[in-house]
Amino acid sequence: MSKLAIVGASGLVGRNLLEQLQKREFKIDEIFLLGKKSAGSSINFLNKDCIIEDIEKFDFNKPDYAILSAGSDVARNYANRFIESDCKVLDMSSYFRYEDDVPLIIPEINGDLITKKTNLVANPNCSTAQLLMILDHIHKEFVIESVMITTFQAVSGAGEQGIKELENQSQSISTISNIFSKTIAGNVIPQCDKFLDNGFTKEEMKLDWETKKILDEKINVTSTCVRVPVKNGHSESVFIKVRNEASRSSIIRLLEGKEGVKVIDDPSKEAFPTALENANKTSDVYVGRIRSSKINNEDWISCWIVADNVFGKGAALNAVQILELMKKTDEN
């Protein structure tokens, strides 16, 4: 049993964290829900109304673990305050992801990096998490040399405000865009996050940076991240150059039955995963449209990956799995 604090529990990801904690029956002695603007409001958890406390007035010595799910500013301002009070921190933002001494964790891939001395862990980007759940197995078997990817990212990736903007614009296309750079209803926008000096967006660079840190620093990832008028569920079209020859059947055999992965791939039945069908409060990462090809005598694998970017592996699930691993490591 343990005491847990969640900062940002009233947000979209925060509420899904609470759902995953309940679904996975994570044992908690006491939970502290923290915020600023939301302080004083209540959230139901385990059939109890929990009052959100003002983080500025909170005693940081109370919890054993803290999940920060309220952006980089919160991570910058409060992570060390928890750590200095002997509380271990899991940060959901990008603030600590690229620090050399902070493990960036997908438990199925590199969970062994967490030790009893680990007091700060970073959760990966939503698009990275679902991508690497597939690439990890392919890399071990066929050795990945490079990856080209186009993401099709749901508006929920921009939080509750992103969902509301899509809903409002679906009612009136003339509604002003505040969250996205252009109208999202009836449109696709080849931009997620801000543009960097190299012409890529930060979201696109996250896929490269995080793949190198989690999987293999030799793998280069080139991507275009696209926001689409879908409420929830990120989809990815992935093109993978591998060193060892791979057949479609061998790839399917490799992925079938792997923890957290579901293969839906039967062209004769037009069977493949979609965000609408397979990213609605689902925990698994779904893969289909699996193909292999020779291009200029090089071996390539193509596939289509879908996952719930909020409740599932993209955010809440991976975070709770990390928390479970931290707690188990401390108890052993």
Contact of 329 with 119, CB cutoff 8 Å: no
Per DSSP, 269 falls in state: G
pLDDT for 141: 97
Q: Quick one: pLDDT band at residue 40, thresholds 50, 70, 90?
A: confident
Q: What SS3 class is residue 35?
A: strand
Distance between CA atoms of residues 211 and 215, nearest Å:
5
Residue 36 has pLDDT above 90, yes or no: no
Averaged pLDDT, 285-290: 98
Could you tell me the CA-to-CA distances from 284 to 128, 149, 271 in Å, in that order? 14, 20, 17
Mean pLDDT for the chain?
Answer: 96
Contact of 301 with 246, CB cutoff 8 Å: yes
Residue 175 has pLDDT above 80, yes or no: no
Q: Quick one: pLDDT band at residue 1, thresholds 50, 70, 90?
A: low
pLDDT for 332: 86
Of 34-38, 171-175, 187-191, 248-252, minimum mean pLDDT range: 171-175
CATH homologous superfamily of 3-123+315-331 equals NAD(P)-binding Rossmann-like Domain (3.40.50.720)
pLDDT for 7: 96
Tell the burial category of 239 from Cβ atoms under 10 Å away from its Cβ (0-12, 13-18, 19+).
middle
- Residue count of the chain: 332
Judge whether 126 counts as a catalytic residue.
Answer: yes
Residue 173 has pLDDT above 80, yes or no: no
- What's at 3, amino acid-wise? K
Distance between CA atoms of residues 110 and 113, nearest Å:
6
Q: Which residues of 18-54 are buried (b: 16+ CB within 10 A; e: fewer)?
A: bbbbeeeeeebeebbbbbeebbeeebebeeeebebbe
- The contacts of residue 72 (CB under 8 Å, 6+ apart) are 93, 94, 95
- The contacts of residue 242 (CB under 8 Å, 6+ apart) are 138, 142, 143, 144, 145, 299, 300, 301
| Segments making up each domain of the chain, as ranges | 3-123+315-331, 127-154+188-307
185-223 residue pLDDT tens: 999 999 999 999 999 999 999 999 999 999 999 999 999
140-160 residue pLDDT tens: 999 999 999 999 999 999 999
CATH fold for domain 127-154+188-307: Dihydrodipicolinate Reductase; domain 2 (3.30.360)
Residue 27 has pLDDT above 70, yes or no: yes
Residue 121 has pLDDT above 80, yes or no: yes
Of 1-5, 133-137, 319-323, minimum mean pLDDT range: 1-5
Which element (helix H / strand E) includes 285? strand 285-295
51-63 residue pLDDT tens: 999 999 999 999 9
Distance between CA atoms of residues 329 and 119, nearest Å:
12
* Per annotation, catalytic residue among 126, 192, 225, 303: 126
Distance between CA atoms of residues 133 and 130, nearest Å:
5
Averaged pLDDT, 173-182: 88
pTM for this prediction = 0.96
pLDDT more than 70, % of the chain:
100
Residue 80 has pLDDT above 80, yes or no: yes
* Per annotation, catalytic residue among 137, 225, 234, 303: 234
